[in-house]
Amino acid sequence: MKLKQTDKALIKNGTSGHSHAGHRQRMKNKYTEFGARIFSDHELMEMLLFYSIPQRNTNDMAHELVDKFGSPRKAIEADWQRLTQIKGVKDNTALLFSLVSEIYRRDKVIIPSCKAVYDTLSSVGEFLTQYFSGLKEERFCVMLLDSSMRLIKFSEISSGSANSASIDPRTIARLALAENATNAIISHNHPSSVAIPSSSDREITARIEAALSAIGVTLIEHIIVGEVGYSPTMQMRLSSARSPFAHSDLDDGFLRRFYNG
């Protein structure tokens, strides 16, 4: 009997078209009828892999992912490079996991409603810690506020690496003008590091403060969120007259309330 090309490919992959397709359909039927509660962690992972790896047994790969990372969720949230070190995990699977992780994170993160007041470091830090939680890459964001420190708009400016080359202060200034903002708070995360400002972080801060000051908008703070905790970049204004941020229009009274309130 002469085999078709597709049959040869399936046999080469160690499975037959009928048995493998039948297994997948049985798993889907079982899930539809009984729901997720009767499935083990590796079975759920095995089913998810159906959608990025067609025509291949994904059981062993599912076991390895769960064993290596500890749970399906931790596997889904793992960074691209670590995922693709698992045998059989290619870019399609890493992309699928990244999409699922981002959808989950966005659903979990509560973006504050407009007019929420952010007039203390603790209130800003609490929100930003929640927002950056679980991210594996750097993101740079801005909170635009009115004269009473009520939120007008929260916007993600860039993702990747928050360095002086990747952040254009004019983008933030244009956004502040469009929203008629009076004040701004910028932030970014150090996903796998401590929340200590680098020289590049201070350079970005100074450039953005200058761009905003030119249009009459005050930069309140640049918050860095680390793997654990967060840090204000500009608090030195309170203690050093020679601080690079000492020319701010903010008075000491407001700053003391902001940092200690």
SS3 of the chain: the string is: CCCCHHHHHHHHCCCCHHHHHHHHHHHHHHHHHHCHHHCCHHHHHHHHHCCCCCCCCCHHHHHHHHHHHCCHHHHHCCCHHHHCCCCCCCHHHHHHHHHHHHHHHHHHCCCCCCCCECCCHHHHHHHHHHHHCCCCCEEEEEEEECCCCEEEEEEEEEEECCCCCCCCHHHHHHHHHHCCCCEEEEEEECCCCCCCCCHHHHHHHHHHHHHHHCCCCEEEEEEEECCCCEEECCHHHHCCCCCCCCCCCCCHHHHHHHHHC
pLDDT reported for residue 14: 42
In this prediction, residues 125-134 reach a mean pLDDT of 89
Hey, what CATH topology would domain 114-260 get? Cytidine Deaminase; domain 2 (3.40.140)
- pLDDT for 10 beyond 50: no
Task: Render pLDDT for 36-86 as a digit per residue (tens, 0 to 9).
Answer: 889 999 999 999 999 999 878 899 999 999 999 898 888 888 888 888 888
- Split at pLDDT 50, 70, 90, the class of 245 is low
Task: Render pLDDT for 140-156 as a digit per residue (tens, 0 to 9).
Answer: 999 999 999 999 999 99
pLDDT reported for residue 242: 61
- Listed by start position, the domains of the chain span 5-107, 114-260
pLDDT reported for residue 13: 44
Residue 138 amino acid letter: E
Task: Render pLDDT for 182-240 as a digit per residue (tens, 0 to 9).
Answer: 999 999 999 878 898 888 899 999 999 999 999 999 999 999 999 889 999 998 887 66
For the chain, report the end-to-end CA distance as a whole number of angstroms. Answer: 82
Q: Report strand pairing: 230-232 vs 218-225.
A: antiparallel
- Mean pLDDT across the chain: 84
